[in-house]
């Protein structure tokens, strides 16, 4: 193998493996800094920094595609609500009370939620394998939220933070389906920048309410570093690396690497947050991953048919 090919191979593996590591870091850092950053303040600060970091990449597309963004204005507003306003704000709210490991395991349910929402609201048909996958994956989510306790299920004793984070995953599934409403000529980097521009005024009243209630950020070197990481690494770098991975390896292969998020997360949570791993974590992840594999089996069968 030539040195050039070897280098290309390493670069491909890097762009495939780094985005889930960056996204796992979002959960870890948000959980770590929960005592210093209230959820809305963290989300708002994240998107301000992300917009500043993103503008050099997005500006050429904003100038070129501005008529398209004006044409799809209300669609972009509708996309900004679940994808920018709700998703990370709900995650940061949930991480105030629930371990980062739980949040990342629930994140693994997104592919199945996309299937379910596509069927319920977009009229997409589900095959038998996909229905089975949804059932198995839902059981996995329930195991995580109920912490493997049947008694908690019977008592309807749900972990509030887990439910909030699961709501965030539903919001992201709606966001993902909403992206299909935009034609390919609408550049995705420019689209993300416009979403952030529209989302910041929508987040502002919630930020004002949070501050009025007395929840204020505590500025320390560690908290500022946490905000900088969240604003740049998972918000911009992960997005740029992931879009490059889709170009080089295709969406299917790039998407498979997203399942590394809970793997990275379990290691990082144990190392930096000292969060213990429980049997229900393994059981929940196994069921969620099993559901995804069942649904993928249905996709392969449909492709062959």
- Residue-by-residue pLDDT tens, the chain, 305 positions: 444 344 457 778 888 889 989 999 999 999 999 999 999 999 999 999 999 999 999 999 999 999 999 999 999 999 999 999 999 999 999 999 988 988 888 887 887 788 888 888 887 787 888 888 888 877 887 888 777 776 666 555 567 898 999 999 999 989 988 888 888 888 889 999 999 999 999 999 999 999 999 999 999 999 999 999 999 999 999 888 887 887 777 665 676 677 778 888 888 998 889 988 888 888 888 888 888 788 777 656 555 55
Contacts 24+ apart (CB under 8 A), 64-67: 64/187, 64/190, 65/185, 65/186, 65/187, 65/190
User: Among 263, 266, 259, which Cα is nearest to 288's?
Assistant: 259
Q: Tokens representing 283?
A: 């059981």
Under 8 Å CB-to-CB from 243, ≥6 apart: which residues?
188, 189
In angstroms, the CA 235 to CA 189 distance is 11
Under 8 Å CB-to-CB from 154, ≥6 apart: which residues?
none
pLDDT score recorded for residue 7: 43
Q: Tokens representing 257?
A: 């690497």
Domain boundaries, the chain: 1-37+219-274, 40-98+159-216, 99-105+119-153+279-305
SS (H, E, C) the chain: CCHHHHHHHHHHHHHHHHHHHHHHHHHHHHHHCCCCCCHHHHHHHHHHHHHHHHHHHHHHHHHHHHHHHHHCHHHHHHHHHHHHHHHHHHHHHHCCCCCHHHHHHHHCCHHHHHHHHHHHHCCCCCCHHHHHHHHHHHHHHHHHHCCCCHHHHHCCCCCHHHHHHHHHHHHHHHHHHHHHHCCCCCCHHHHHHHHHHHHHHHHHHHHHHHHHCCCCCCCCHHHHHHHHHHHHHHHHHHHHHHHHHHHHHCHHHHHHHHHHHHHHHHHHHHHHHCCCCCHHHHHHHHHHHHHHHHHHHHHHHHHHC
pLDDT score recorded for residue 119: 84
In angstroms, the CA 91 to CA 97 distance is 11
pLDDT score recorded for residue 197: 96
Question: Angle at the Cα of 117 (from 160 to 15), degrees rounded to 5?
Answer: 85
Which pTM value belongs to this model?
0.86
Q: How many CB atoms lie within 10 A of CB 224?
A: 14
pLDDT score recorded for residue 2: 43
pLDDT score recorded for residue 111: 79
Residue given tokens 């070897």 in the structure block: 6
pLDDT score recorded for residue 234: 94
pLDDT score recorded for residue 3: 40
pLDDT score recorded for residue 154: 58
């Amino acid at each position: 193998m030539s040195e050039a090919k070897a280098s290309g191979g390493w670069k491909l593996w890097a762009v495939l493996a780094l985005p889930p590591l960056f996204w796992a870091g979002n959960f870890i850092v948000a959980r770590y800094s929960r005592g210093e950053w209230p959820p809305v303040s963290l989300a708002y600060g994240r998107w301000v920094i992300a917009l500043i970091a993103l503008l050099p990449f997005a500006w050429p597309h904003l100038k070129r595609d501005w008529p398209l963004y004006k044409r799809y204005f209300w669609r972009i507003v509708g996309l900004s609500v679940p994808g920018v306003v709700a998703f990370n704000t709900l995650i940061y709210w949930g991480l105030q009370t629930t371990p980062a490991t739980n949040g990342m395991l629930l994140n693994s349910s997104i592919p199945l939620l996309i299937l379910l929402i596509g069927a319920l609201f977009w009229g997409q048909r589900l095959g038998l394998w996909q229905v089975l996958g949804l059932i198995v994956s839902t059981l996995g989510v329930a195991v995580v939220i109920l912490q493997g306790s049947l008694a908690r299920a019977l008592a309807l004793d749900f972990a509030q933070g887990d439910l909030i984070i699961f709501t965030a995953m539903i919001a992201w599934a709606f966001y993902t389906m909403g992206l299909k409403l935009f034609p390919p000529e609408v550049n995705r980097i420019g689209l993300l920048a416009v979403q952030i521009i529209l989302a910041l005024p929508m987040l502002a009243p919630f930020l004002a309410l949070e501050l009025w209630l007395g929840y204020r950020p505590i500025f320390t070197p560690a908290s500022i570093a946490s905000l900088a990481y969240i604003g740049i690494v998972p918000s911009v770098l992960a997005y740029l690396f992931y879009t490059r991975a889709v170009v080089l390896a295709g969406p299917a292969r790039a998407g498979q690497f997203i399942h590394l998020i809970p793997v990275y997360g379990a290691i990082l949570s144990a190392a930096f947050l000292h969060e213990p791993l429980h049997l229900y974590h393994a059981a929940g992840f196994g069921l969620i991953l099993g559901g995804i594999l069942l649904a993928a089996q249905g996709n392969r069968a449909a492709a062959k048919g």
